[in-house]
A = this chain, B = another copy of it.
Amino acid sequence: MKHKSFFIASENETVGEVAFRNIRADIIRGKLKPGQKLKLEKLKADYGVAVPTLREILSRLAAEEFVVAEGQRGFEVTSVSEAGLRDIAALRLLLETHALRQSIATGDLQWEARVVSSHYMLKVVETKLIDGDISQVEQWVQQDWEFHHATISACASPAMMAAHSTAFDRFLRYHMLVLDFRGKPAADEHAQLRDLVIARDAEAAIKLLTSHVESGLNHVLGTGKIPA
């Protein structure tokens, strides 16, 4: 408590935790490219943490399927493919539709408020993007995440939420790799989803969500940037 370490204690977080988030974000954002070998010495220089700490971080990411650990040959960023995208999209949809149905059935007023407020913030970013301000893409990804999570946040199932979170992030990674916003149709779908959720129309909401995810899937594949 005498002299707090300059890097750590100011935020009460360990340097390992910070590096973990940075590396994870760099994979999702595509700065660390699919299939790329993750050499420990290089990472050590880039993120400023020691080798054992890096191994700890990469092991956690491997459990989330963001990196693969190849036996005794080190780590590399998980590669992407059309099949991989379809796979993860299906998983996301399965978890999200289930959680959405539960949320609509049991959500309270606070939950509705979360949905409304997160959609409001999402819409602001979407409007900017539609107007051509491409700098907001990362902000949009963040708000998209917040909104979808808000809609299922009343499902009262921590395990389901946790599984959905990592599935969603892996799905998002594909969007970040092609870095192409779908525009007004996606924004309209979000608004409709918000209304259906508030109206407690579970079946219509699920139907919309399904086509929403599938449209996103096709949009990403349509850019031709994802290998077969």
Contact = CB atoms under 8 A, between A and B. Distances in A.
A45 interface: no
Interface string A96-111: 0010000000000000
Nearest to A50: B52
A157 interface: yes
Interface stretch (A83-91, A145-153, A187-195): A83-91
Given A56-B52, A162-B65, A98 B88 contact: no
Interface string A7-20: 00000101000000
B52 A87 contact: no
A149 to B, nearest CB: 17
Given A14-B72, A63-B63, A72-B14, A91 B163 contact: yes
Contacts of A84: 159
A65 B158 CA distance: 11
Contact of A87 (B72, B91, B95, B157): B157
A163 B60 CA distance: 15
B91 A159 contact: yes
A162 to B, nearest CB: 7
A64 B62 CA distance: 11
A27 to B, nearest CB: 15
Contacts of A98: 94
Contact of A158 (B52, B87, B158): B87
A91 B12 CA distance: 33
Contacts of A167: 159, 163
Contacts of A72: 14
A225 interface: no
A55 interface: yes
Given A57-B59, A59-B60, A60-B62, 20 more contacts: A12-B71, A14-B72, A52-B52, A52-B55, A55-B56, A56-B56, A56-B59, A60-B60, A63-B63, A65-B159, A87-B157, A87-B158, A87-B159, A88-B159, A90-B157, A90-B159, A90-B160, A91-B159, A91-B163, A159-B170
